[in-house]
Amino acid sequence: MSKGFSTSSVGRKILMALSGFFLLFFLLQHFVINFLSVLSADAFNETSHFMGTNPLIQYILQPVLLFGVLFHLGMGIYLDLQNKKARPVKYAMNKPGENANWMSRNMIITGIMIMLFLGLHFYDFWIPEIKDKFIDGIWDNPTKYYEHLVHKFADPVRVGIYVLAFVFLALHLLHGFQSAFQSVGFNHRKYTPIIKKLGTLYAIIIPLGFIFIAIFHFINHSH
């Protein structure tokens, strides 16, 4: 690997894309597991328990995920600051909407919104989970997951925030999905249009699915 890769603009762009791909994949599996909660509480508990106790996932994939999230966030913010510096004097009149869509121009906004949401999300699920396992030492409670989930989604404010966050996620993905392919150098006259359609589907279906799950539990358990 060339020495300059990770400090070059193109290298960083590729790393952003690779971490993006990883997060896309993570999101998909997260969605699939969460969706089980709609179908069957047992299946959801079983899978969650597996994910929460499997050492490979806990000690290897979880840190990788954490790193991926932080890297994607940190690099994204760093690059955005650098990009802002690349134009010290702004235009008095600018019409960026004439040549690029809102999503592509505001990845930093949608990205930061998602990160803020992740704070809540960690507070809701990840921190209690870590507390259970690593502070209280309780590793074997295979039925807590569904209950915990349902409990959290009983709060209409929280559900509202979740819905909003997933709207931001959708906006982020509408550009991010296909952009990641472009960044790693995949642009093909025949396949790129397909990837773009696929990306749009992914960016709508997955966040919509998450929203559906949250509302589903809210409606079924709030009264």
Contact positions vs other proteins (CB under 8 A): 1-5, 7-14, 79, 82-83, 85-96, 98-101, 104-105, 107, 175, 179, 182-187, 189
Backbone angles phi, psi at 33, to 5 degrees: -65, -45
* Count of residues in the chain: 223
Residue closer to other proteins (CB basis): 73 or 120: 73
If the CB atoms of residues 162 and 177 are measured against other proteins, the closer one turns out to be 177
| Shortest separation between residue 169's beta carbon and other proteins, angstroms | 18
Residue 186 Cβ, how far from other proteins at the closest point, in Å?
Answer: 6
Q: How far is the CB of 106 from other proteins (least distance, A)?
A: 9
What CA–CA distance (Å, rounded) separates 80 from 126?
Answer: 28
Give dist(CA 164, CA 60) in Å, integer: 31
What CA–CA distance (Å, rounded) separates 202 from 20? 14
Extended strands (E) in 101-209:
none
| Least spacing, CB of residue 107 vs other proteins, in Å | 6
CB of 114 to other proteins, least distance (A): 16
For other proteins, give the closer residue by CB, 8 or 220.
8
Nearer residue to other proteins within complex by CB, 58 or 104 = 104
Core vs surface per residue 155-169: b (16+ CB within 10 A) or e: eeeebebbbebbebb
* Tokens matching residue 67: 């790193």
Q: Given the complex with other proteins, which of 10 and 66 has the nearer CB atom?
A: 10
Tokens 């509480």 locate to: 41
